[in-house]
Amino acid sequence: MRVRLDKWDRFGTSIFTIMTQKALAAGAVNLAQGFPDFDGPEVVKDAAIHAMKNGMNQYAPAPGLPALRELLAKRQKERTGLSFRAEDEVTVFSGATEAIYCAFQAFFDPNDEILAFEPYYDSYPAAAFAAGAKIVGVPLAPPAFAFDPARLAAAVTPRTKALILNTPHNPTGRVFTRAELEIVRELALKHDLLVITDEVYEELVFTPAEHVSLATLPGMAERTVTISSTSKTFSFTGWKVGYAFAPAALTKPLRAIHQFTVFCSATPLQAGMIEALKLPPSYYVELRSDYRAKRDSLITILSEAGFRCRAPEGTYFVLADFSEHAKAQETDVEFASRLTADVKVAAIPISVFYDDPDRIRREQQYVRFAFCKGQATLDAAAKNFKSL
Ligand code: PMP
Ligand code: GLN
C-alpha cells in the first residue's frame, strides 16, 4: 500500500482507554477515566426517548437544533452577560472534542504553533497534528500549578497563531483567576492571537473560586471561540453534545468544517439537552454541592492513604503526589499501573499530558484521581487503599 500506516502511531491509544482497560482487567475501582458512575437527570433521558419515539430520528440542521442553540445562547447570556446569536454564533458539536478538532482544522495551517498551559488535555496535540500544527506547552509549576508570565511571553514566536485555555483545568483542578486571565488577554491582544477556550468544567467550580470566561474580558469576545459541553454539566458524557460560541466571522469556518466532520450531532440527544437547558438554577447549585462533598471525601481518603494533594478549585479531579509511596525511580506510569493491578484503584499518570513526558517523569510524581463517583465507589477505593 502506498499509504503511511504509522502516521498516527505517536498518539497510540488514549491514556483513558488504557487505564480503564487495566482497571477492568484487575477488577480495580476506576478513579482514572473521568466519567460519572451515575446518570444525569431523568427528565433529560425522558426527553431524548420521547424525541426518538416521535420522529426526531433524521439529520438535525448541521449547526444544531435551533431551539437548543437558543437555550444555549440564553444560558450563556445569564452566565456571562455575553450575547450570541443562535442563528450564526452558536454551533452544536458532537462533544467539546469535536468542537476543538474543528476549531483546529478551521484555523490552523502547517507549522502554526498554539500555546497551551501544560499539562494539557490529550486531544489538543492530536487536533493540532491533524492540521500539521503543534502545541507549545507553557508549564504550570507544582505544587500551586500557576504559570510564570515571563515564560508565557517567551513562548511566543512568529509562528504562534493562537492560545488554547482550559479553565477549570484538567488535570490540575486549577480555576484561573481574573488576574491570570488578564495576563493571557494582554498577550493575545499584543500578538493578535486567536483564543480557543475549553470550559467544559465551567459548572464544577467550588467557592471561593470563581469561573471567568475569557471572552468577557475587554477586547476578547471578537477573538475568542468559547467551547463547552453538556457532558459534565448534565452527567451524560456518552451523549457527546458539545457546543461553541463565537462571533459570526469565526463561526463560519467552524461550521464549514463541522459539516464535513459529522455534519450534525445526534438529533434525539440534542432534543434531550433542550430539556436539560430548562432545568432551574437549583440544579446547578445542587450539582456543585454534591461535587463539593465528593471532592472533600476523596481528599480525606487520599490524605489518609498517604498522598499529598491540594483541593482543586474546580473540575472533578484531584492531583495526588505519590512520592511517599513510590519505589526507587518509580514513574507515574509505573505507579499508576502498580496501584491498579495490586491495590485495585486506578488513576491517570499525568506525564502523558506534557510535551516531554520523560523529563516530567524524572521531575515530579503525580497521578490524577476522579471523584465523579458515587460514595460507594469512593468508599471501595478507601478500603482498597488500606493495602497500599
Ligand atoms: N476538554 C477537557 C478538558 C476534558 O476533560 C474533556 C473530557 N471529556 C473534553 C474536553 C471533552 O468533552 P466532550 O465529552 O464533550 O467531548
Ligand atoms: N475527559 C475525560 C478525562 O479527562 C476522559 C474523556 C475520554 O475518555 N476521552 O478523564
Other Cβ atoms closer than 10 A to 185: 19
CA 31 to ligand 2 centroid distance, Å? 11
Cα separations (Å) of 196 from 18, 46, 118, 220?
28, 33, 15, 11
From the list 37, 52, 375, 98, the residue with the least C-alpha distance to 235 is 37
Query: Model pTM greater than 0.95?
Result: yes
Residue 95 sits at the vertex; the CA angle it makes with 230 and 197, to the nearest 5 degrees, is 85
Atom of ligand 2 nearest to the CA of 237: 6
Q: Which of 17, 35, 228 to probe ligand 2 with, by most ligand atoms within 8 A of CB? A: 35
CA 147 to ligand 2 centroid distance, Å? 24
pLDDT at 252: 98
Tens-place pLDDT, residues 131-177: 999 999 999 999 999 999 999 999 999 999 999 999 999 999 999 99
**Residue ranges of the chain whose pLDDT lies below 70:** none
CA 97 to ligand 2 centroid distance, Å? 10
Q: Is the CB of 36 under 6 A from ligand 1?
A: no
Q: Whose CA is closest to atom 3 on ligand 1?
A: 170
Q: Is the CB of 233 under 6 A from ligand 1?
A: no
Beta strands per DSSP E along 110-258: 113-118, 134-141, 146-147, 160-166, 194-198, 224-229, 242-245
From the list 198, 195, 196, the residue with the least C-alpha distance to 168 is 198
Residue 34 sits at the vertex; the CA angle it makes with 240 and 97, to the nearest 5 degrees, is 35
CA 94 to ligand 1 centroid distance, Å? 11
pLDDT at 213: 98
CA 33 to ligand 2 centroid distance, Å? 5
Quick one: cell of 30?
476506576
Q: Whose CA is closest to atom 2 on ligand 2?
A: 34
CA 92 to ligand 1 centroid distance, Å? 14
CA 85 to ligand 2 centroid distance, Å? 30
Tens-place pLDDT, residues 96-123: 999 999 999 999 999 999 999 999 999 9
Q: Whose CA is closest to atom 7 on ligand 2?
A: 16
CA 124 to ligand 1 centroid distance, Å? 11
**For residue 207, how far is the Cα from the chain centroid?**
20
From the list 302, 311, 317, the residue with the least C-alpha distance to 348 is 317
pLDDT at 335: 97
Cβ–Cβ < 8 Å for 321, 308: yes
From the list 100, 166, 159, the residue with the least C-alpha distance to 127 is 100
Q: Is the CB of 202 under 6 A from ligand 1?
A: no
Q: Which of 16, 100, 228 to probe ligand 2 with, by most ligand atoms within 8 A of CB? A: 16
Cβ–Cβ < 8 Å for 363, 331: no
Q: Which of 15, 196, 200, 205 to probe ligand 1 with, by most ligand atoms within 8 A of CB? A: 200
Backbone torsions φ then ψ of 50, nearest 5 degrees = -60, -45
Instruction: Kindly list the protein residues whose Cβ atom lies closer than 6 A to any atom of ligand 2.
Output: 14, 16, 33-34, 170
